[in-house]
Structure 1
Amino acid sequence: MSKVIRIGTRDSELALWQANTVKAQIESLGYQTELVPVKSTGDLILDKPLYELGITGIFTKTLDIAMITGQVDIAVHSMKDVPTLLPKGIVKAAVLKRAPSEDILVHKGTTDFYNTEGTIATGSLRRKAQWLHKYPTHKVEDLRGNVNTRLQKLQDNNWNGAIFAKAGLERINLTPENHEVLDWMIPAPAQGAMLVVAMENDSETREVLAKLNHEDTDICTQVERDFLRTLEGGCTAPIGAIATIKNDTIHFTGALFSLDGKQKLLVENSVPKDSFSNFGYECATNILENEGGAALMKEIRKALNPKTTNE
């Protein structure tokens, strides 16, 4: 292939790290690339929680438009930010090997507040709900911005700590000494994974990207995202999901929480690796039909979209 593959990316430090990682892998195969940084709406509007903006795929929409209009050939995303339904004409081209999927708490040097009163910051409804489920006496403040901005806001406020994705901090060498891995917190579907998308009709570029795909990560993230899509959570509902593969068996844990963290609907199951295609759907259906999930999702949608919900 003689053309230069133009890589679209958000222009934050983390997004550029991810794009440069893909750039290096493509170039190691002998192809030419060029980075094209683009600012997303999610990066520009920092004074509102994500769920209040009412845009699905807020961190990916600008790059989607750049691809559809021919400004870039591919885009690199944190997979957890990508809507489960891609825009018409755009397809999954590669899922890179997953980094750590856990969340971590960055604190001020002590966790003595765990058993008393504490204030934690996060912009994620999933993290907020799980924190309140475990620590119902605590307060959770909204925290927006890229990784660097959020770390600075933690220092500038009197919060006890803030929650981050472990992979994001590790990738740009910003993990503070004062942190604790939240191994009890179920991560966002596809957390720690990087997704490369391309135009469906660009078979030449897709053939190149297929060489970067990591099969086990691809399978696990598909199960998690199928679970998310079936629950109809989009990027906003408090939904966690993690799938792992060991000895050709997929082990899955997924949960739906109420916004205040008081309700937790959990599913845990395992299937052979070659039976993954409907696994995420089946786990979500179990929650919806047998655990009261349908009623809880109705409550969540009504609370988040009071003007548009007619139920």
Structure 2
Amino acid sequence: MESRTIRIGTRDSELALWQAHTVQNKLENLGHTTTLVPVKSTGDIVLDKPLYELGITGIFTKTLDIAMINNDIDIAVHSMKDVPTALPKGIVEAAVLERANTKDILLHKGLDFLDAKGTIATGSLRRQAQWLHKYPNHQVVDLRGNVNTRMQKLKDSDWNGAIFAAAGLERINLKPKEYLDLDWMVPAPAQGAMLVVAKEKDTYCLEALSHLDHADSKICVHIEREFLRELEGGCTAPIGALAEIEGDQIHFTGVLFSLDGKDKIEVSKTIKLEDNKNFGIHCAQEVLNNGGKKLMKKIKASLK
């Protein structure tokens, strides 16, 4: 049997390294030899511009894609919600790990502002739109950087709170005692899931990683990403999606918002698990036919 050291590419933030170490441990438990190769991404370096202004979907994954194409790394570990729905030529999804918490949470300095005026920070158009939909008299400001940087910025600011993915904070033990579960907020497609990618022709790594794949998580995130791809067509928009398996059924909720949160188009459906093929696409088409086409045009025009 061929044996070689699997080079694991990762961003160098604390959370990204935690994710890479998790994959490393799982591979080593299966008897493989591995080494970590940390790489800085443009998304981590350029912190003074909102993500959508940088104009690249997949800004956090691009650097690792290039490292893989240049043969500097063999596999790369990502937060799946950061990964564009279309992967570069020659790179494929090798494993979706078991999904963690899908929720968004609010870190805050007291909640008395909720019924009054307030300022909330987030770098996500999806979170911004959903927050403004629920709290139209609040202000939302841009917040960028890795988890640690964003927590520090919140601490140093006069903002009332900032929105984070629960999974990210739980993974590196940064979730404070005081937080608010935003269970009304529909998460980003694939939120809480980790994806490992490899080269399409690298049978050694693909075989090794196939043992890390979690079937139910994979089905759910693929439905969510199908929904996203069908709606977006490569544009960043306030889109949320969550698929959950209960018994032999899948329940799906998908939303598209206007940037200011005023318009909301939602789809909610339950089907049999075995009927999941193209389910995300059908749900997206329902949104598009329900006013989504017009709304996406408006979003694209205003983000130019």
Shift of 1:233: 5.7
What SS is found at the alignment partner of 2:211?
helix
What is the aligned partner in structure 1 of residue 154 from structure 2?
154
Name the CA distance, whole Å, in 2 between partners of 1:115 and 1:223.
36
What is the aligned partner in structure 1 of residue 43 from structure 2?
42
Name the CA distance, whole Å, in 1 between partners of 2:263 and 2:31.
52
Q: Which runs of 4+ in 1 moved over 2 A?
A: 233-236
CA contact (8 A) 1:233 1:239 kept: no
What is the aligned partner in structure 1 of residue 12 from structure 2?
11
Q: 1:10 to 1:244 in 2, by over 3 A?
A: same
Gaps of 5+ in 1: 306-311
What is the aligned partner in structure 2 of residue 140 from structure 1?
140
Name the CA distance, whole Å, in 2 between partners of 1:2 and 1:161.
49
Q: What are the within-5 Å matches in structure 2 for residues 209-228 of structure 1?
A: 209-228=209-228
Name the CA distance, whole Å, in 1 between partners of 2:81 and 2:55.
17
Name the CA distance, whole Å, in 1 between partners of 2:55 and 2:3.
41
CA contact (8 A) 2:223 2:243 kept: yes
Name the CA distance, whole Å, in 2 between partners of 1:63 and 1:250.
33
Shift of 1:166: 0.1
Matched, 1:204 2:227: no
Q: 1:217 to 1:10 in 2, by over 3 A?
A: same
Shift of 1:204: 1.4
Name the CA distance, whole Å, in 2 between partners of 1:300 and 1:207.
41
What is the aligned partner in structure 1 of residue 113 from structure 2?
113
Shift of 1:176: 1.4
What is the aligned partner in structure 2 of residue 54 from structure 1?
55
CA contact (8 A) 1:17 1:171 kept: yes
Letter in 2 for 1:167: A
Root mean square deviation of aligned Cα? 0.8
What is the aligned partner in structure 2 of residue 63 from structure 1?
64
What SS is found at the alignment partner of 2:59?
coil
CA contact (8 A) 2:255 2:264 kept: yes
Shift of 1:248: 1.4
What is the aligned partner in structure 1 of residue 187 from structure 2?
187
Name the CA distance, whole Å, in 1 between partners of 2:118 and 2:86.
37
CA contact (8 A) 1:50 1:236 kept: no
Name the CA distance, whole Å, in 1 between partners of 2:126 and 2:96.
23
Letter in 2 for 1:125: L
Name the CA distance, whole Å, in 2 between partners of 1:284 and 1:233.
12
Letter in 2 for 1:9: T
Name the CA distance, whole Å, in 1 between partners of 2:239 and 2:261.
11
Instruction: Determine what percentage of the aligned residue pairs are the same residue.
Output: 68
CA contact (8 A) 2:97 2:213 kept: yes
Name the CA distance, whole Å, in 1 between partners of 2:44 and 2:235.
16
What is the aligned partner in structure 2 of residue 247 from structure 1?
247
Number of aligned residues: 303
What SS is found at the alignment partner of 1:298?
helix
What SS is found at the alignment partner of 1:59?
helix
Name the CA distance, whole Å, in 2 between partners of 1:62 and 1:118.
37
What SS is found at the alignment partner of 1:285?
helix
Shift of 1:236: 2.4
Matched, 1:292 2:285: no
What SS is found at the alignment partner of 1:254?
strand
What SS is found at the alignment partner of 2:237?
coil
What SS is found at the alignment partner of 1:266?
strand
What is the aligned partner in structure 1 of residue 236 from structure 2?
236
Q: 1:86 to 1:285 in 2, by over 3 A?
A: same
Q: What are the within-5 Å matches in structure 2 for residues 26-37 of structure 1?
A: 26-37=27-38
TM-score relative to the length of structure 2:
0.99
Name the CA distance, whole Å, in 1 between partners of 2:86 and 2:257.
22
Letter in 1 for 2:11: R
Deviations 1:168-199 (A, max 9, x none): 00000001122111000000000000000000
